[in-house]
């Protein structure tokens, strides 16, 4: 049992350096422009297809370019985060603007009503 645990631990340790490669390539923010940028950085075309397996990545030597992949994926991730927050921000701004307009309208109406009542117009 001890031998099996040691062997599994060794396999996990051997695999750990590849995790940033997988995280970078599987980043949900990676768009076609990021894949094009990555292709330019690497010097050969790479596209997200079903045929792009982990084994294929190793055959292409992508493990030797983890820094470049991580850099492009980081930019893609930040852009993705902004894209996700932006619609919520727009909706919130519209709501606040509408609320502000209603508040201004009510304030102006109250002022006009008060002036009208004070002036004795009936």
Q: What is the mean pLDDT of residues 51-65?
A: 94
Q: What is the mean pLDDT of residues 27-48?
A: 94
What is the chain's mean pLDDT, rounded?
84
Q: Report pLDDT for 94.
A: 66
The phi and psi torsions of 31 (rounded to 5 degrees) equal -105, 175
**Cα(37)–Cα(51) distance, rounded to whole angstroms?**
20
Confidence of residue 57 (pLDDT cuts 50, 70, 90): very high
Pick from 41, 115, 121: nearest CA to 74: 41
| Of 53 and 94, the one with more pLDDT | 53
Cβ atoms within 10 A of the Cβ of 69, count?
A: 24
19-52: string of b/e by CB count within 10 Å (b at 16+)? eebeebbebebbeeebbebbeeebeeebeeeeee
Q: What is the mean pLDDT of residues 54-76?
A: 94
Which tens digit of pLDDT belongs to each residue from 67-113? 999 999 999 999 888 887 766 666 666 666 676 666 666 666 667 66
* Cβ atoms of 12 and 19 closer than 8 Å: no
Q: Report pLDDT for 2.
A: 85
Specify the pTM: 0.64
């Amino acid at each position: 049992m001890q031998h099996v645990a040691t062997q599994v631990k060794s396999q996990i340790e051997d695999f750990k350096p590849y995790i940033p490669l997988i995280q970078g390539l599987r980043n949900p923010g990676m768009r076609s422009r990021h894949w094009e940028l990555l292709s330019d950085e690497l010097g050969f075309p790479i596209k997200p297809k079903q045929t792009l397996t982990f084994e294929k990545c190793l055959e292409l030597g992508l493990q030797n370019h983890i820094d470049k992949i991580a850099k492009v994926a980081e930019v893609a991730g930040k852009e993705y985060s902004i894209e996700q927050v932006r619609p919520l921000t727009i909706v919130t701004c519209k709501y606040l603007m509408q609320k502000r307009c209603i508040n201004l309208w009510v304030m102006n109406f109250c002022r006009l009503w008060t002036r009208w009542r004070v002036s004795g117009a009936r």
